[in-house]
Amino acid sequence: MVGVTLDGVRGFDPRAGCRVATNRRDTMSTKTITREVPIQECLNGKTRDESNLDDDAIEDFVEWTKEIERSEALREVARQRLDEDELPEATSLLWIDAAEVYCLCSSCYHENRDGAWTGSTQNPNQAELRQKLNERLEEGTPCSFCKSDRIEQLKEELADEVDVEVVVVE
């Protein structure tokens, strides 16, 4: 379980179980996200003592975990800020195989159509999946690729206004 504190982050849904406060530097408001991660998440379920890794390897795993948590914290806030109404509407399904399919706008579909249907994965519920995705298209779902790109763009913008602190708890 990861503990999260979102300090003054605009657009984040406080119902997600996060505490909100404001941290100020000089006259500007700085937003801080603090996450607590148990050391076991860094070391595949083990403590430092249980691990057979040397100190340098442990620190590498800790830093990788911190970077993943930083990125995910910014991505969560970006998802909250995302305005799906600004995204192009999906018009087509791009089937990579029976289990991997994307709702795409015409531009993204044409850019990626060469990757369609490799057929390497089986899905016993493909008909049900097809029906649900066609319903989403009819309801006006945004393009999956445009949405992902916009979330990444927002995440990069947030990196300048939000500090993410990851604390590893022993």
Q: What whole-number distance in Å separates Cα of residue 139 and Cα of residue 149?
A: 21
59 phi/psi in degrees, rounded to 5 = -65, -35
Nearest to 63 by CA among 39, 46, 31: 39
**pLDDT tens for each residue of 42-76:** 999 999 999 999 999 999 999 999 999 999 999 99
Q: How far is CA 164 from CA 69, 100, 108, in A?
A: 9, 32, 32
CA dihedral 95, 100, 102, 108 (to 10 degrees): -70
- pTM for the whole structure: 0.72
**pLDDT tens for each residue of 83-132:** 999 999 999 999 988 888 999 999 999 999 887 777 677 788 888 999 99
